[in-house]
Amino acid sequence: MMHIPFRVVFEQRGETPRRLSLIVPLVSVLAALFFGALFLLATGYSVFDTYTNMFKGGFASFNGITDTLALSTVLICTGVSAAFAFQMNLYNIGGEGQLYLGLIGGAWAGIALGDHLPSLIMVPILLICGALAGAAWIFVPALVRSRLGTSEIVSTLLLTYIGASLIKHVIYTPGSFFRNPNTSFPQGRRVADSASLDSFGSSRLYPTFFVAVVVAGALYWVVKRTEFGYRINVISDSPRAAHYAGINSRRTTMMVMSISGALSGLAGAMLIVGPYGKIEPSIITLGYGYAGIVVAALARNNLAVIIISGILFSGLRVGGNNLQVTTDTPIHIGVMLQGAILLFALGGEAFRRYHIHIVRTQTQPNIKMSA
Partner 1 sequence: MSNTSHEVAQGPHHTSGAAPTALSAHSIDKKFPGVLANDSVDFDVRAGEVHTLLGENGAGKSTLAAVLCGLYQPDAGYLIRNGKRINLSSPRAGLQHGIAMVHQHFRLVDRFTVSENVILGSRDLPYRLIRREIDEKVAAVAESYGLPIDPEAIVGTLSVGQRQRVEIVKALYQGAEILLLDEPTAVLVPSEVEKLFENVHAMTAAGKSIVFISHKLGEVVEISDRITVLRNGRVTGHVSGRGTTDTKELARLMVGRDIELNSQRATHAMGHEVLQIRDLSLDVDDVAVLTDISFNVRAGEMVGIAGVAGNGQRELADTIAGLISPTSGSITISGAMTTDRGPIAAREVGLAYVPEDRLGVGLVPSMSIIDNLLLTRNRQTVVDRFSVRPEATRLIEQFEIKANGPDHLARKLSGGNAQKVLLARELSGGRTATRLLVVCSPTRGLDVGAIETVRRILNDARSAGQAILLISEDLDEVLSLSDRVLVLYRGAVVHEALGEAAELSQVGAAMAGLSSQSH
Closest contact distance (angstroms) between CB of 229 and partner 1 is 8
- Binds partner 1 (CB under 8 A): choice among 34, 114, 230, 251: 230
> Contact 265/271 with Cβ under 8 angstroms?
no
Q: Counting contacts by CB under 8 A, is residue 34 touching partner 1? A: no
Strand partners, 10: 356
Distance between CA atoms of residues 338 and 316, nearest Å: 6
Cα–Cα distance, 259 to 208 (Å, whole number): 18
Footprint of partner 1 on residues 236-265 (CB under 8 A)? 237-238, 240-241, 243-246
* Cα four-point dihedral sign 145, 149, 153, 157: negative
Q: 120 or 359, CB closer to partner 1? A: 359
> Which of 18, 22, 174, 227 forms a contact with partner 1 (CB under 8 A)?
227
Q: Is 198 in the site for partner 1 (CB under 8 A)?
A: no
Residue 269 burial (C-beta neighbours within 10 Å; 0-12, 13-18, 19+) = buried
Query: Taking a C-beta distance cutoff of 8 angstroms, is the pair 104, 170 a contact?
Result: yes
Find the shortest distance in angstroms from Cβ 204 to partner 1.
Answer: 38
Helix (H, G, I), strand (E, B) or coil at 11: strand
Q: Decide: is 328 part of the binding site for partner 1 (CB under 8 A).
A: no
Contacting range for partner 1; rule: CB under 8 A; set: 50-58, 122-130, 272-280, 362-370:
362-370
Residue among 181, 226, 251, 350 that touches partner 1 (CB under 8 A): 226
Which helix (H) or strand (E) segment holds residue 240: the answer is helix 239-244
- Dmax of the chain from CA atoms? 103
**Element holding 222 (H helix, E strand):** helix 208-225
Q: Identify residues 284-303 at the interface with partner 1 (CB under 8 A).
A: none
SS3 category, 10: strand
Region from 184-192, 251-259, 343-351, 359-367 binding partner 1, contact rule CB under 8 A: 359-367
Closest distance of CB 283 from partner 1, Å: 37
Beta carbon of residue 353, minimum distance to partner 1 (angstroms, whole number):
13
Binding flag, residue 184, partner 1 (CB under 8 A): no
SS3 221: helix
Task: By CB under 8 A, name the binding residues for partner 1.
Answer: 13-14, 225-230, 233-234, 237-238, 240-241, 243-246, 364, 366-367, 369
